[in-house]
Structure 1
Amino acid sequence: MRFQTWLLGAASVLAMAGIANAETTLTIATVNNGDMVRMQKLTDDFTKANPDIKLNWVTLEENVLRQKVTTDIATKGGQYDVLTIGTYEVPIWAKNGWLVALDKLGADYDVDDLLPAIRNGISADGKLYAAPFYGESSMVMYRKDLMEKAGLKMPDAPTWDFIADAARKMTDRKEGINGVCLRGKAGWGENMAFLTATANSFGARWFDEKWTPQFDQPEWKKTLEFYVKLMKDAGPDGASSNGFNENLALFQQGKCGMWIDATVAASFVSDPKASKVADKVGYALAPDNGLGKRANWLWAWNLAIPAGSKKIDAAEKFVSWATSKHYTELVASKEGWANVPPGTRKSLYANADYQKAAPFAKMTLDSINAADPTKPTVKPVPYVGVQFVAIPEFQGIGTAVGQQFSAALAGKETVDAALKAAQTATEREMKKGGYIK
């Protein structure tokens, strides 16, 4: 009897030791953007401090990530412990009870240091439901040498007319140089992010105050005609397949005179290790049409934890590490200040080392601060969001419309046909959602 008791006691001690030394594996779903790829290379810093936590990365292309993560969280699949999601998803998913409120990020995390525009977009009822890895607006990145060769000088705040004229003058098909590279790949967060922001500056809007779709209005026709013609005259071949990463590669290879896209790209186009034109890049605000709205958006890629996760403590440790001031300093020590994740913290933009290393810093901050999700358009609208509409139906609607506009860019259908199809599809979904009769 005593021997059995001893055996039971020994087994209990061993089991306790096993529990104490148990390794927690976090599966992290993330996007294949440069800053996220860089983070994966630096995670030894985290695992050394947390030897009981192992990281399993699932790195996906933007459209695929959105689809898989949305399906998993909506069905409570439990496939991921940390999610990379955007400003669009956070408030909607928090309202649905799908995300964990992040109130244990640590005493030194300094939530108040987060830029108000970014923090507000990932909060609900005063609580943070995601931590921003990087924040962005959009701006013009351009080749100063090609601009000079064309006999032009880029204004700090250009108009769309100037951009169109410059793009055509900078195009040199024999040399393989496209005057402008813009997103064409279908997706609510790919071509529609760019086109919605552009449409805002043309006076267009997704819906009027009564939620009636507006693709049958002249402002949208003007936007899409301008875009398709500009890309035909001065854009790259196969542009309807190009998203953020494809255009980044083209610009780095010296094949774009201008690229209008996320401010986060600035560090990659000016990095001499990756970009052939690093010493020739200039920056300007996103264009406008003199109507009071620029084509600049507001976005953040954030790390969030799904509700019901059995690994919340470990996940919160990782989220805190990856979005902390410490991580910023780690990247600066390894890669230089110009390459730290931008657009999330006030302290970064007050940092003299960063200001010196990043000539795009002020332009990025000004662009983020200028974007107003509560008043994104020239005319009044019932929705919040600059380059997206913050309603659950938008993912499906935005992607369907993006497919039509990508087809118009590819020459598979006319601008009028694409707009008509967009209007019909959007009306159908808005009726189904109960927004309109």
Structure 2
Amino acid sequence: MAGSLPLAACGGAGGGGSSGGGQSINVLMVANPQMTDIEKLTADTFTKDTGIKVNYTVLPENELRDKVTQDVATKAGQYDVATVGMYEVPIWAKNGWLHELGSYATADPNFDYDDLLKPMVTGLSGDDGKLYGMPFYGESSFLMYRKDVLSAKGLTMPERPTWQQVADLAAKLDGAEPGMKGICLRGLPGWGEVFAPLTTVVNTFGGTWFTKDWQAQVNSPEFTQAVKFYVDLLRAHGEPGAAQAGFTECLNSMSQGKVAMWYDATSGAGSLEDPNVSKVAGKVGYAYAPVAKTKSSGWLWAWAWAMPKTTQKADAAAKFILWASGKDYEKVVGQKLGWSRVPAGKRASTYQIPEYQQAAAAFGDVTLKAIQEADPTNPGTQPRPTVGIQFVTIPEFADLGTKVSQEVSAAIAGKNSVEKALADGQALAEQVAKKYAK
């Protein structure tokens, strides 16, 4: 990243700090492939150019959420930068926990702020319209499937499948190759693990966590039907140990040829198409998120860089953030690691890079359209009390969603019934609703 950043661009606690040689910053990241990549590339690029050393802490998603929430909410100040998502940013910005980042981006002409995709900017802004999370990569969700395996079975995948079609295909693809299961779906407890895909199923089946006037709906017929469908599909044709499988486990299963289909984040496609880590590169097809009662059902998410107000190194942290979300970093990834691994889904220009277009030919257009189609203001069949597709944007949802997810995971493992899981979830949701209902 060229050009220096004015210290005045960022107000609030912890501003400034030396930006030069010998300084270091602490960055907390989720353990996804894109973060592993940046960890490998930083020393020979960012640190070499700026003299700023980056100390990374990388954790699985659920552990990351606990750690970053604890650090930011208690103002412990251990980290200068942390990866957070569209759920946390608006809430934490309202609480005054985060530095505003938009002014840093607009002050640097090399960053090209206007190139950021509008859904990403909107989802990472606070109520005041200012940007508090800088997208590292953005995603929706779609269905990934083995083209060769379907073809060998004489089966075809619709461009926009229904969930019933997916279930029927899973039954036919189960055992298509030795040890292969029909589908991989997240079953790992966590509001951002099993309930990320599962809430999109709830939405398209006609369910919702809460009505617009804050009536809890966790044990409603539509919510129940969606969860039963998901649990039954996993138990019949899903991956072994599904109750402990999250994004990472499903990515591994799909890339190693152990499952025929996988419904999850569009960002998973880059790894699937990398022959250095995937046995199925070039063999995967991509279809839009399956539906039931809605026209589309993909989620909207970004893993984004946030700067806690407690940092004493705001200048150096901002330099890192703008580098990590910048066009030049995308080129570094493409040239050093392969263009399919570019952290995409955040910039319009990414989809105009010839090398990326070639590497992402199978999934690039579907990913971009899925992001553009995602509507966090109207993701289901009825009005919602908050903006968000696979989450409810209130502080209590992290705890609520995680507690209900534990019950659902137990049902996936055969230790609980869906009805009991959702009855318990309804009681918890009703307690949350009391705070908001008028």
TM-score tier (shorter) = over 0.9
Letter in 2 for 1:318: F
Letter in 2 for 1:312: A
Kindly, what percent of the aligned residue pairs are identical?
49
Query: Which residue number in structure 1 is paired with residue 217 of structure 2?
Result: 214
- The answer for unaligned runs of 5 or more in structure 2 is 1-17
The residue correspondences of 1:35-434 to structure 2 (distance < 5 A) are 35-43=34-42, 44-51=44-51, 53-102=52-101, 103-105=103-105, 106-124=108-126, 125-172=128-175, 175-289=178-292, 291-358=293-360, 359-431=362-434, 434=435
- The answer (yes or no) to whether the contact 1:88–1:388 under 8 Å persists in 2 is yes
Letter in 2 for 1:211: W
- The answer (yes or no) to whether the contact 2:263–2:289 under 8 Å persists in 1 is yes
**Residues 22 and 364 from structure 1, CA distance in 2 versus in 1: closer, same or farther, beyond 3 angstroms?**
closer
- Inter-partner Cα distance in structure 2 for 1:378 and 1:429: 22
**Residues 21 and 339 from structure 1, CA distance in 2 versus in 1: closer, same or farther, beyond 3 angstroms?**
closer
- The answer (yes or no) to whether the contact 1:198–1:294 under 8 Å persists in 2 is no
Query: Which residue number in structure 2 is paired with residue 7 of structure 1?
Result: none
- Inter-partner Cα distance in structure 2 for 1:366 and 1:387: 18
User: In structure 2, the residue corresponding to 1:411 is in which secondary structure?
Assistant: coil
Letter in 2 for 1:336: G
- The answer (yes or no) to whether the contact 1:269–1:277 under 8 Å persists in 2 is yes
Letter in 2 for 1:397: L
User: In structure 2, the residue corresponding to 1:353 is in which secondary structure?
Assistant: helix
Letter in 2 for 1:435: Y
Question: Within the alignment, does 1:435 sit opposite 2:433 as a pair?
Answer: no
CA deviations over 1:363-405 (Å, ceiling 9, x no partner): 0001101110111111111111000111111111111111111
Which shows bigger deviation, 150-159 or 320-329?
Answer: 150-159
Kindly state the Cα deviation for residue 349 of structure 1 after the two structures are TM-superposed. Answer: 1.5
- Inter-partner Cα distance in structure 2 for 1:256 and 1:214: 33
Kindly state the Cα deviation for residue 429 of structure 1 after the two structures are TM-superposed. Answer: 2.9
**Residues 25 and 165 from structure 1, CA distance in 2 versus in 1: closer, same or farther, beyond 3 angstroms?**
same
- Inter-partner Cα distance in structure 2 for 1:258 and 1:90: 32
CA deviations over 1:51-87 (Å, ceiling 9, x no partner): 1x22111100000000010011111000111011001
- The answer (yes or no) to whether the contact 1:199–1:295 under 8 Å persists in 2 is no
User: In structure 2, the residue corresponding to 1:78 is in which secondary structure?
Assistant: coil
- The answer (yes or no) to whether the contact 2:189–2:405 under 8 Å persists in 1 is yes
Letter in 2 for 1:356: Q
Which shows bigger deviation, 103-112 or 379-388?
Answer: 103-112
- Inter-partner Cα distance in structure 2 for 1:202 and 1:146: 28
Which shows bigger deviation, 223-232 or 57-66?
Answer: 223-232
- The answer (yes or no) to whether the contact 1:283–1:363 under 8 Å persists in 2 is yes
Letter in 1 for 2:50: N
Letter in 1 for 2:308: P
- Inter-partner Cα distance in structure 1 for 2:432 and 2:382: 23
- Inter-partner Cα distance in structure 2 for 1:179 and 1:149: 14
CA deviations over 1:28-66 (Å, ceiling 9, x no partner): 000110000001111020001111x22111100000000
Normalised to the residue count of structure 2, the TM-score between the two structures is 0.92
User: Deviation above 6 Å: which 4+ runs of structure 1?
Assistant: 19-22
Kindly state the Cα deviation for residue 249 of structure 1 after the two structures are TM-superposed. Answer: 0.6
Q: Over aligned residue pairs, what C-alpha RMSD do you find?
A: 1.5
**Residues 350 and 414 from structure 1, CA distance in 2 versus in 1: closer, same or farther, beyond 3 angstroms?**
same
Of the two, which has the highest radius of gyration? 1
User: In structure 1, the residue corresponding to 2:419 is in which secondary structure?
Assistant: helix
Query: Which residue number in structure 2 is paired with residue 8 of structure 1?
Result: none
- Inter-partner Cα distance in structure 1 for 2:112 and 2:119: 16
CA deviations over 1:297-346 (Å, ceiling 9, x no partner): 00000001101311000000000110000101111111222211110001
- Inter-partner Cα distance in structure 2 for 1:395 and 1:381: 17
Letter in 2 for 1:313: D
- Inter-partner Cα distance in structure 1 for 2:87 and 2:195: 13
User: In structure 1, the residue corresponding to 2:138 is in which secondary structure?
Assistant: strand
